[in-house]
């Protein structure tokens, strides 16, 4: 999706296996929050399958096909459309931390 920019002290020729800090580039993406009342519309937008729960927790969910397989979004999750047009869910606390308020 995006190429990380290495920190100033990163030396690619070094064979050490140590963590290196990377910064995420600021990128605008489209996103919508999945709520119980908008599940069918969100599923239609992202090409997912809106379904009722299996009685083991959430009453509604959306199955979204991704390059990594099918992932399930639950009410409160954000559905994000990435730069290449791909869709994926993101839990609310993570989304709020990374994205903040809409512009």
Tell me the per-residue pLDDT of 32-90, one tens digit each, with 9 for 90 and over.
Answer: 999 989 999 999 999 999 998 766 667 899 999 999 999 999 999 999 999 999 999 99
88 falls within a domain:
yes
Least confident of 1-5, 25-29, 64-68, 94-98: 1-5
- Residue 41 maps to a domain: yes
Q: Which of 13, 97, 89, 17 is nearest to 58 (CA)?
A: 89
Quote the Cα angle for 4-31-33, to 5°: 130
Q: Cβ neighbours of residue 16 under 8 Å, at least 6 residues apart?
A: none
Q: Is residue 27 part of a domain?
A: no
CB 92 within 8 A of CB 80: no
pTM listed for this prediction: 0.72
Q: What phi, psi does 72 have (nearest 5°)?
A: -110, 130
Return d(Cα 97, Cα 3) in angstroms, integer: 20
Domain membership flag for residue 20? no
Please give the pLDDT value at position 8. Answer: 56
* Domain of 93, in residue numbers: 34-103
Asked, for residue 53, whether it belongs to a domain, the answer is yes
Residue among 34, 48, 30, 41 at smallest CA distance from 78: 34
The number of folded domains in the chain is 1
Q: Is residue 54 part of a domain?
A: yes
Query: Does the residue 26 lie in any domain?
Result: no
Assess if residue 50 is contained within a domain: yes
């Amino acid at each position: 999706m995006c190429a990380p920019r290495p920190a100033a002290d990163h030396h690619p020729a070094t064979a050490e296996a140590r963590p290196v800090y990377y910064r995420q580039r600021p990128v605008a993406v489209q996103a919508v929050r999945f709520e119980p009342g908008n599940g069918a519309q969100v599923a239609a937008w992202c090409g997912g399958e809106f379904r009722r729960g299996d009685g083991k927790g959430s009453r509604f969910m959306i199955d979204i096909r991704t390059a990594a397989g099918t992932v399930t979004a639950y009410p409160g999750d954000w559905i994000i459309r990435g730069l290449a047009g791909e869709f994926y869910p993101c839990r609310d606390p993570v989304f709020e931390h990374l994205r903040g308020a809409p512009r």
